[in-house]
Amino acid sequence: MTGPGPFARVTPGILEELRAACGPDWVLVTAEDREPYGSDETEDLWFDPEVVVRPRTTEEVSAILRVAHARRVPVTPRAGGTGLSGGALPVRGGIVLSVDRMDSILEIDRENLVAVVEPGVITQTLQEAVEAAGLYYPPDPASRGSCTLGGNVAENAGGPRAAKYGVTKDWILGLEAVLPDGSVVRPGGKLLKNRTGYSLVQVLVGSEGTLAVVTRIWLKLIPLPRFRRCLLAPFPDLEGAAAGVARIYGAGLLPAALEFMERDAIRLAAEHLRTPVPGSDADALLLLEIDGNHEASVEADLGTAGEVLLAAGATDCLLPESPSKQADLWKVRRAIGEAVKKTSVYKEEDTVVPRAALPALVAGVKGICARAGVRVVCYGHAGDGNIHCNVLRMDLDEAAWNERLPGVVEEIFRLTVSLGGMISGEHGIGWTQRRYLPLALPPAEIAVMRALKRAFDPTGILNPDKMLPEE
């Protein structure tokens, strides 16, 4: 029996083939077993997969995809399920292919400074393992305690320390991936240089599970910085804090992280964690971190940063002295997203602009939402121009919310693009943002993306209806 579009439904015969591919215990068919795999962290969306498969090896992934390819059954790859753009939602039913059992750290190569991992490894687990060996893997998404490295690769995840160290793509040396027809490719490896053919590694990183299923990852490591200090700078207005970011870089500083939080964001996090936060009465705060291998230079840069921010209008510079106090500040920063979700129905937009445009972006978003009569909470990675704009429904009735929200989102995106920005810095396009892609990219660029998708996935079975807008 055919399903929506060109796809087939999962039949009893297909279920038997899937059981043969990865074992009967790892093919989930009951409604209760399928239910957790129908959603991710994107708002309150849920779609029911017809079956969930949980392979353990590359060979099993290959066998599953060969079945799906031959039968034209849609497959939605899934890692940690922490995505914020609906990339793991099985919007066409079919098969959810979860890599959660592929969770081994295969190697930490101290000589070559490389880690080899499977896609289901939790990001924080890998970070702690390499730090125990005196090494460092910097990308640190806010959900690092629950997101996985496979999901990080799919979304090209960032995080606070992208300000200095870049995002996931900057740390991937090689991948093993299974194409939609079951073929296995292994571009890259333990090589810091590689100009042999097209860079398939960089094509696959950030492709949101639409081109292949990643089954092994080679990660670049560096020596662990020995010293780390941070400061919290409250500002009396949003624009002053945003402008302070440019002054930090103008002073020749390169912070490991530079985070922006407005008052509502920090208060929501404090209420969520039931802990007071210094400076929470300010309209905006900047959280800055300096790291390095020489304590004197870290302290000197921290002092310079404090002077620069005070000159930019900060009312104070708060310096937590102990590692535990620093960790407390980061705990608050990382809790903002969860705190916002618990406050109200919301819509999060992951805007990114050149750093110098931050004041105009924040002021513009505030104005857009004020005119529409909705509340917005802004926070994010000021060091790389990536601000999360959370539009909250609060007490607005559902009809008014549904009427106003699309216009608000489109206006925010048009403003972002007009400032030289893009509509996603790290959360991806996925299911929820694909209709807006033409606001940011010209038709010729989208056409190239469609051609790339067809080359990898001619039957269109892999993560359908993601990233690319409807034709």
User: 12-101 and 105-223 share one CATH topology?
Assistant: no
Residue 3 in this model has a pLDDT that exceeds 60: no
Ranges 10-24, 215-229, 347-361, 448-462: which has the least confidence: 347-361
Across the beta sheet with 346-352, what order do the strands follow? Answer: 227-235, 284-292, 257-262, 375-381, 386-392, 346-352
Work out the average pLDDT over 315-320: 94
* Ramachandran category for residue 134: left, alpha or beta (phi over 0 → left; psi -120 to 50 → alpha): left
Check: CB of residue 284 under 8 Å from CB of residue 240. yes
Q: 236: buried, middle or exposed (CB in 10 Å: 19+, 13-18, 0-12)?
A: middle
Residue 277 in this model has a pLDDT that exceeds 90: no
- pLDDT at position 242: 81
In angstroms, the Cα distances linking 101 to 4, 26, 170, 304 are: 30, 10, 26, 47
In angstroms, the Cα distances linking 212 to 156, 350, 454 are: 14, 25, 12
Strands 75-78 and 95-98: parallel
Write down the mean pLDDT value for the chain. Answer: 95
- pLDDT at position 5: 56
Work out the average pLDDT over 320-328: 91
Give the burial string for 374-395 (b: 16+ CB within 10 Å, else e).
Answer: bbbbbbbbbbbbbbbbbbbbee
Radius of gyration of the chain (CA): 23
Supply 7's token pair. Answer: 């796809």
In angstroms, the Cα distances linking 411 to 369, 372, 396, 437 are: 9, 11, 19, 14
Q: Which long-range contacts (CB under 8 A, 24 or more apart) does 323-331 make?
A: 323/228, 326/228, 326/229, 326/230, 326/289, 328/275, 329/230, 329/232, 329/277, 329/287, 330/230, 330/287, 331/273
Rounded CA-CA distance 450/158 in Å is 25
| pLDDT digit string, tens, across residues 193-208 | 999 999 999 999 999 9
Side chain identity, residue 331: K
- pLDDT at position 341: 86
Residue 1 in this model has a pLDDT that exceeds 90: no
Percent of the chain having pLDDT more than 70? 99
- Map out the domains of the chain as residue ranges: 12-101, 105-223, 225-333, 344-460
Supply 326's token pair. Answer: 């620093």
Side chain identity, residue 130: V
Residue 48 in this model has a pLDDT that exceeds 60: yes
Task: Please give the angle made by the CA atoms of 284, 285 and 286, to the nearest 5 degrees.
Answer: 135
Name the CATH code of domain 105-223 (choices 3.30.1120.10, 3.20.20.150, 3.30.465.10, 3.90.1580.10). Answer: 3.30.465.10
Residue 465 in this model has a pLDDT that exceeds 70: yes
- pLDDT at position 260: 94
| pLDDT digit string, tens, across residues 249-275 | 999 999 999 999 998 998 999 999 998
**Is the CA virtual torsion 261, 88, 186, 106 positive or negative?**
positive
Query: Given pLDDT bands bounded at 50, 70 and 90, which one contains residue 280?
Result: confident
Residue 410 in this model has a pLDDT that exceeds 90: yes
H/E stretch holding 386: strand 386-392
Rounded CA-CA distance 285/380 in Å is 11
- pLDDT at position 321: 84
Residue 285 in this model has a pLDDT that exceeds 90: yes
- pLDDT at position 4: 42
Closest CA to 170 of 182, 178, 161, 181: 161
The β-bridge partners of 335 are: none
Helix pair angle (323-343, 263-273), 10° resolution: 100
Give the burial string for 127-156 (b: 16+ CB within 10 Å, else e).
Answer: bebbeeeebbbbbbbbbbeebbbbbbbbbb
Rounded CA-CA distance 9/18 in Å is 14
Measured in degrees and rounded to the nearest 5, phi and psi for residue 459 equal: -90, -5
Task: Please give the angle made by the CA atoms of 168, 174 and 176, to the nearest 5 degrees.
Answer: 110
Q: Which residue has the tokens 């779609």?
A: 47
Rounded CA-CA distance 168/151 in Å is 10
For domain 12-101, the CATH architecture is 2-Layer Sandwich (3.30)
- pLDDT at position 187: 97
Fold of 344-460: Alpha-Beta Plaits (3.30.70)
Q: How many angstroms separate the first and last alpha carbons of the chain?
A: 25
Task: Give 155-209 as a DSSP string.
Answer: HT---TTHHHH--GGGGEEEEEEE-TTS-EE--B-S-S---SSS-HHHHHTTSTT
Q: 198: buried, middle or exposed (CB in 10 Å: 19+, 13-18, 0-12)?
A: exposed
Rounded CA-CA distance 229/178 in Å is 42
| pLDDT digit string, tens, across residues 128-154 | 999 999 999 999 998 999 999 999 999
Maximum Cα–Cα distance for the chain, whole Å? 70
Supply 466's token pair. Answer: 């993601």
Q: 3-state class of 347 per DSSP?
A: strand
Rounded CA-CA distance 170/399 in Å is 44
Fold of 225-333: Alpha-Beta Plaits (3.30.70)
Residues near 118 by Cβ (< 8 Å), separated by ≥ 6?
A: 99, 102, 103, 104, 105, 106, 150, 215, 216, 217
